[in-house]
Structure 1
Amino acid sequence: MIVEVTDLDAVELSAYARLTDVALRSRHEPAKGLYIAESSLVIERAVAAGHLPISFLMAPKWLESMRPVIAAACGGHDDGGDVPVYLAKEPVLQELTGFRMHRGALAAMRRPSLPQVSEVLTGARRVAVFEDVVDHTNLGAAFRACAGLGVDAVLITPRCADPLYRRSIRVSMGTVFQVPWTRIEPWPGDGPQEGVEALRSRGFTVAALALADGAVSLVQMEADPPDRLALVLGTEGDGLRRETIAACDLTVQIPMAGGVDSLNVAAAAAVALWATRLRS
């Protein structure tokens, strides 16, 4: 149903209010079981992944172009059917959300339950593991690299940022919906079937991407990559924890030049995943 926004304090609009407040969003989204998808492309990819909308929010000028996406999400109803499609003029949207909307629309989506690690790893041959990556932009960019370079699954550690945070989704261009992912806990793990061992027991070679003594060159791994590979990448600045590196099967290092010792985690992921991609 199409609803014109006249009352910015309406409780049904609370999901969209003050989206620039990181502390509010990080508390609200997991607790309320929703996330915010921004732009027609991202919403379309969320819908294609089977995620269900709670409501849409946009300026009137975007309604016609959004109707096919709305219909796909709402059982063929291009007006949303029972799902509210809120329309508001751009100054009102900016007052409500706290930023200028340049990408057409927002949608409040139901947050899906996370699958089990075993479910995500079934049939996988290339896995990326992100340890404590706390920057939403970096995580979104890393997911985009994973989707584009043929990664079968992504695992994130308990302290990692939320891939379904609005900025992560936006930077990933909605590819967070394309690659199966879940959180792995405990990490790196102390016993059988925990953490690194959960990967190793399924036949993965677990490789830490880190600056460390005894690390092999990525060039060497590229020449003869394992059939099943899990690449582990660490947080911005500090990189992987020592206990994680010790738990992995080997450590891999990207050859660098120009006095630069390392790359941004998303860039490092792209380089390493390209070098070790499946050739057939």
Structure 2
Amino acid sequence: MIPESLHVVRVTDPADERLADYTSLTDVALRAKHEPEKGIYIAESSTVIRRALAAGHRPRSFLMAERWLADLAEDIEALAARFPVDDAPGGTGQPVPVFVGEPDVLEAITGFHLHRGALAAMHRPPLPGVHELVTGARGGAGARRVAVIEDVVDHTNVGAIFRSAAALGVDAVLVSPRCADPLYRRSVRVSMGTVFQVPWTRFETWPGGLTSLQEDGFTVAALALSDDAVTLDELVADAPERLALVLGTEGDGLSRGAVEAADRVVTIPMAGGVDSLNVAAASAVAFWATRAEMSGLLDTDV
């Protein structure tokens, strides 16, 4: 039974202008440029949508096949009870529509087979400043351990880093100005919605922004290859009170400027003639190694 309070709109025309937020989602260049300017992002799958709603994010609309409507009806009904109309900044002032269509219509709209249940076009929450985020100036607890991502362009890697950060108790993630968007559809999906639970923001300047972390009491540790590097084990043995772990691009690693701005250069000891790991894998190793000294959030070892 579908509650009458839901504003269900059945769509049959892929060119319906009301569906513009969802058009051609497979075009990475278009979505990466378009979404931040419009102040929206796309949440994909019922699990991710629920996590976005739980984090307090406000939807502009939903898009799904008929068979998924009942699955999300309770969540959407609860949202409609709290927010009868879309009165978020940039909102429509109208009830949030739930667009429902046949699978072939949905595929024509989005450019891919919608097999994960549903999509939602969500309003982007405003990002805090770096200082505000890491010091708790906006009412948070303040951070002791943060991840810094420099110019990682693969959305899958960004999502995986966020998932590891959430699982291993990292307090916040900070991204460089040219880093891929954590709220891009693939990043959100790979993270399983953990981008909504780990506080994050974007530096306005780079690598100068690292200086602000140092002024806030963080030791900046760059994960890179260097003759004067210490091992991750040595860093953990003498762990600073507040730590920022800086991770670099998929191909070249960290920039020279980021390494020079760091307080320490850190390497992960490896065998087998391997000199580096994928950035998502390296992040998980670094987060795991520093967890006991820097975080009391873990209930059990996994």
**Which TM-score applies when normalising by structure 2?**
0.88
1:163 match: 182
| Mapped contact 1:133–1:160 kept (Cα < 8 A) | yes
Aligned residue among 214, 220, 229 for 2:243? 229
Greater CA deviation, 222-231 or 146-155? Answer: 222-231
Taking the aligned partners of 1:75 and 1:111, their CA distance within structure 2 comes to 21
Amino acid at match of 2:151: D
Q: CA deviation at 1:201?
A: 1.1
Q: CA deviation at 1:141?
A: 0.4
Amino acid at match of 1:36: I
Q: Secondary structure at the match of 1:75?
A: helix
2:139 match: none
Structure 1 pair 104/185, CA: closer, same or farther in 2 (3 Å)?
Answer: same
Is 1:253 the equivalent of 2:267? yes
Taking the aligned partners of 1:232 and 1:77, their CA distance within structure 2 comes to 39
Taking the aligned partners of 2:78 and 2:152, their CA distance within structure 1 comes to 34
Structure 1 pair 76/203, CA: closer, same or farther in 2 (3 Å)?
Answer: closer
2:91 match: none
Structure 1 pair 198/46, CA: closer, same or farther in 2 (3 Å)?
Answer: same
Taking the aligned partners of 2:157 and 2:280, their CA distance within structure 1 comes to 6
| Mapped contact 2:131–2:213 kept (Cα < 8 A) | no
Q: CA deviation at 1:71?
A: 2.4
1:192 match: none
Taking the aligned partners of 1:145 and 1:72, their CA distance within structure 2 comes to 30
| Mapped contact 2:148–2:175 kept (Cα < 8 A) | yes
Aligned residue among 19, 24, 27 for 2:30? 24
Give 1:103-252 correspondences, 5 Å limit.
103-122=116-135, 123-189=142-208, 195-252=209-266
Amino acid at match of 1:127: V
| Mapped contact 2:13–2:105 kept (Cα < 8 A) | no
Once the two structures are superposed, what CA deviation does each residue of 1:180-208 show, in whole Å capped at 9, x if it has no partner? 1111121111xxxxx11111111111100
| Mapped contact 2:146–2:171 kept (Cα < 8 A) | yes
Is 1:86 the equivalent of 2:99? yes
Is 1:2 the equivalent of 2:8? yes
Identity within the alignment, %: 65
Taking the aligned partners of 1:155 and 1:275, their CA distance within structure 2 comes to 19
Amino acid at match of 1:11: E
| Mapped contact 2:145–2:295 kept (Cα < 8 A) | no
Q: CA deviation at 1:27?
A: 2.0
Taking the aligned partners of 1:239 and 1:177, their CA distance within structure 2 comes to 26
Structure 1 pair 279/183, CA: closer, same or farther in 2 (3 Å)?
Answer: closer
Q: CA deviation at 1:76?
A: 5.5
2:55 match: 49
**Where does the alignment leave 5 or more consecutive residues of structure 1 unmatched?**
190-194
Taking the aligned partners of 1:31 and 1:197, their CA distance within structure 2 comes to 28
| Mapped contact 1:70–1:77 kept (Cα < 8 A) | no
Taking the aligned partners of 1:22 and 1:33, their CA distance within structure 2 comes to 17
Q: Secondary structure at the match of 1:74?
A: helix
Taking the aligned partners of 2:80 and 2:212, their CA distance within structure 1 comes to 39
Taking the aligned partners of 2:83 and 2:36, their CA distance within structure 1 comes to 28
Greater CA deviation, 69-78 or 83-92? Answer: 69-78
Taking the aligned partners of 1:82 and 1:145, their CA distance within structure 2 comes to 36
Amino acid at match of 1:225: A
Q: CA deviation at 1:41?
A: 0.9
Amino acid at match of 1:112: P
| Mapped contact 1:142–1:270 kept (Cα < 8 A) | yes
**Which TM-score applies when normalising by structure 1?**
0.94
| Mapped contact 1:40–1:69 kept (Cα < 8 A) | no
Aligned residue among 38, 41, 44 for 2:44? 38
Taking the aligned partners of 2:117 and 2:290, their CA distance within structure 1 comes to 37
Two-structure CA RMSD over aligned residues (Å): 1.6
Taking the aligned partners of 2:12 and 2:53, their CA distance within structure 1 comes to 28
Paired residues, what number? 274
2:80 match: 74
Q: CA deviation at 1:279?
A: 5.1
2:89 match: none
Q: Secondary structure at the match of 1:137?
A: helix
Aligned residue among 84, 107, 111 for 1:98? 111
| Mapped contact 1:56–1:86 kept (Cα < 8 A) | yes
